[in-house]
Amino acid sequence: MLILPSRRQFLTGLGAGAGLVAATGVYAFDVEPLHRLVVTRYAPALPRWNPELRLRVAVLADFHVCEPFMPFDRVAEIVDATNALKPDLVLMLGDYPAGRIAWRRLPLAEFARLAEGLKAPLGVHAILGNHDWWDDEQVQRARAGTPAVKRLLEDRGIPVLENGAVRLAKDGHPFWLAGLADQQPFYGLETGLEDLPGTLALITDDAPVLLMAHEPYIFPEVPERVALTLAGHTHGGQVRLFGRSPAIRRVRGIDVSYGHVVADGRHMIVSGGFGVSRMPVRLGVPPEIVLLDLGARA
């Protein structure tokens, strides 16, 4: 026999459902994006990594500074939390301004000053993302040039790699750090500035390679020579439920939305980053510092 709920039961259930939706909305719009900060740790076994090279790397992506979603006190909190992890190397993966979602834009010169506070023996290195280009009206009008944030970071001692590579060493063990120019620099155009073959041609020996690429979409083209690709851009989809980010498209059948991606023996780690874009919401993918322990022994 079918037993129907009473009017009171129906209204109680409806009210509980509405309350759950409201609580979820408050969490997604306020708590997770603005007040949470996690450290996501990876110790991947990389086939093209020297096991004698033990390297701790902090990866910071997608700040999107603005008010109210990423004010300067939040940036300072991230800098302090990163330094407390005592990384050997800090990598910044682009998208420093917020873009159209900002209620109030903040000066990137102050962001660069705060980023100068990041400390690591092997330095702080950066690349640019699409919003670093899109937010710069001069380079967008010219469809060429150099975004202002590149100069601001370099003036603070943070080199910005654009299709470049630098050879570093830890405890006498060398490795290469390579960084691509952005794949989507001009709003509304498909033309990218990345030069993957030219960048890898700068590598002159067989030391392991870390590759920084703002967008993860280039991963299917990255050769096995690269030990690990590091990317941001996706924010993990900003809404990630049951291990899936429905807003992020697959690339050649590969889910590049978030986390440790392995395809054909090649490895990439995609950071969920810190900020928001398009919509001021994060759910299931809290702002994160990615911490890599490479060459770590069990």
CATH topology for 38-294 is: Purple Acid Phosphatase; chain A, domain 2 (3.60.21)
pLDDT digits over 95-138, tens only?
999 978 878 999 999 999 999 999 999 999 999 999 999 999 99
DSSP string, 229-275: EEE-SSGGGSB-BTTB-TTS--BTTB--SSEEEEETTEEEEE---S-
Q: Mean per-residue pLDDT for 73-78?
A: 98
How far from chain centre, in Å, is Cα 99? 16
Q: Mean per-residue pLDDT for 41-45?
A: 97
220 neighbors 251 (Cβ within 8 angstroms): yes
Q: Where are the domains of the chain?
A: 1-35, 38-294
- Model confidence at 29: pLDDT above 80: no
Q: Tell me the average pLDDT of the chain.
A: 90
Give the pLDDT of residue 279: 85
pLDDT digits over 118-130, tens only?
999 999 999 999 9
pLDDT digits over 220-277, tens only?
999 999 999 999 999 999 899 888 888 788 999 999 999 999 999 999 999 999 999 8
> In a 3-state reduction of DSSP, which class is residue 50?
coil
Determine what percent of the chain is predicted with pLDDT higher than 90.
79
